[in-house]
Every structure is written in structure tokens, then in C-alpha cells.
Amino acid sequence: MGMVIAAAHTAAHSGTAPASAVELASRAARACLSQAQVSPSSVGVLINVGVYRESNTFEPALAALVQKEVGINLDYIADPAPAAGFSFDLMNGACGVLNAVQLAQSLLDTGSTERVLITAADVHPGGDARRDPDYPYADLAGAFLLQRSADPDVGFGPVSVYPGDGPTDTEGYLDTAAMGSDGRSRITVRRTEGHAARRSALAAACTVRYAREHGIDLDRTLVVGPHAGEDTRAGEDTTTGDAPSAGDAPSAGEDTRAGEPHTAAPILGYLQALAAPRPEDCDRLLVVAAGAGPSAACATYRPEGW
């Protein structure tokens, strides 16, 4: 029995109101539920993998706040069916979405829940990434709604995680010596010179290793890499699922957004891959994420109908 993406959506910050990771993640999550035509109570587990959030909020877990905004089983006594909702944060940077996919596979395989919702949202703690030229990431969220499929030949394959060599390339932290009275609205992100090239090299090496370990023919595989979505226009929401009526993702070559996708990059990359013409003889996707660890994660995905 396979695990498929019932719906996927992204939500980007636009306008003058301060960006909120909770609001963006909730918007993407609600869009997934609407597209899949299921109620919030049908979601048994919500996993939030975002890292950067408004006002440098540390507690409570943002997953609980997203659960409340989406309305997922808020009263397990009054609405116990199908099960009490459970939510938690899982933070592993760029690899977080695939780590959550791996957890979702276990939950669905054991029948612990019927559906798992994954949200990934990052926003500048000051409310607008465009105002901080030293902050590299976009105010962006994404969501996957996952469920079982009766077809064992579709959906996600195994998730594999690979450590890289050397020290971490990226550090995000609050500099207490320089924050002054504005600590809730500031963040420092430092990346070493050449970090992008090293991340790409790690992703490429892990792609080859994953293909060898799992017998994947890369000539028949569309690779969705760690730089997916970096040419996407700011302010665009995108949505799709496995249905033929999938919506269009923003196309390459448009004005770049104010920053790179971070934890939501695999979701945005998936949307773009499904919106683009499928290469001849391609029968699956290989989603690759590479983070600051340095570490990388890989997983194959075969959409229904491919």
C-alpha cells in the first residue's frame, strides 16, 4: 500500500501586514484540505517543520498553533472521531519535509491515522524578509496532505538520509551581543563562502548513492533538487495534487522572490515538477534536499497516473 500526496499547496507573503509562519502554514494547509475535499477532522497528525518564525517564537510548538487555526480536532471529547488530533514540530532545516514524510510513512503503515498533514513555513522574525538584505530566505510556506493508496506501485519510496563531510555551512541564531531591544524582530544567518556549490555537490553525490542503493534508473527519473523554486515570483500561491486538474506553478524566468525557499522548497519543487511537461519515458520523481548539517535526504515519488 503506497502513501500518496492527496494535495499540495504553497502560500507566500504579500502586502504590507507582517508575515506570520502560523498564518502562511495555515493558509497552505486549509487549501490542501479544500482541494482534497476533506474536513479538518480527517487529519490525525500534523507535523510542522518550519524553522524561522515571527517574533522568534520558541514556545509553544507552532504545530499546535497551526492545528488551532486550521481547526483540526480541537475538542477530542466533543469530536473524538476519527481520532484525537496530534501535532508537533520537527526541525531539521532543509531536510525537514522529507524527515516528516518518513514519519508519515510509519504512521500510515501502522494504521495510526488516515491522513498526515505536513506544513513548512519560514518567515523573518521582523515580519518582512524583503527589509533585511542579509537574511537569505523567503517568507514562504508549503503543505503536503498525505494518505494511503490501495495501489502499492504509486506514492513515496523509502526516505534515506546521508551525512555530509565537514562543518556546517549555515548558522541561524539570535546575536545576543548585538540585538539590543529589538531581539524579537532580528535574526542572524551566516553562510560560509561556497556553501551553494558544496550543497549542490552533496545533493548530487547522494542522488547517485540513493539510485544505486534502491535500483533507480536515473534516465527515467525527474530529479527535484535542493534549489527548486529559487526562481519563483514572490506573492504567488501554487496548488496541485495528483488529479489531472492540477494548477499551474509559477514558471522559471519570472522576477525572483525576495529570498530563497527554505523548508518549503521540496513542496514547491514538487509543484513545479508536476506543472511542467513530463520528460519522455520519465516515470517517477526523486526529491532531494540538502541542508546545513551538512546532510541530505532523498525519496522517490511516483504520482498516481504516471
Low pLDDT (below 70) residues in the chain: 1, 79-84, 228-257
* Res 240: pLDDT: 44
* Res 274: pLDDT: 93
Model confidence pLDDT, tens digit, residues 83-109: 668 999 999 999 999 999 999 999 999
- Note the helical H segments in the chain: 21-36, 62-70, 96-109, 195-214, 265-275
* Res 163: pLDDT: 92
Amino acid identity of residue 176, one-letter, is T
What residues does 46 pair with on adjacent strands?
87, 117
For residue 89, give the C-alpha cell. Answer: 514540530
Q: State the pTM of this model.
A: 0.88
The HSE-up count of residue 215 (CA atoms within 13 Å, CB side) is 0
Closest listed residue to residue 156, CA positions, set 238, 90, 224:
224
* Res 238: pLDDT: 52
Amino acid identity of residue 57, one-letter, is T
Closest listed residue to residue 144, CA positions, set 3, 273, 292, 12:
3
* Res 81: pLDDT: 63
Contact criterion met (CB below 8 Å) for 25 and 82: no
* Res 90: pLDDT: 97
* Res 186: pLDDT: 84
Contact criterion met (CB below 8 Å) for 134 and 150: no
- Residue holding cell 510556506? 141
Taken in order of first residue, the domains within the chain and their CATH numbers are: 2-153 (3.40.47.10)
How do the residues of the chain divide into helix, strand and coil, expressed in percent and rounded to 5?
A: 30, 25, 45
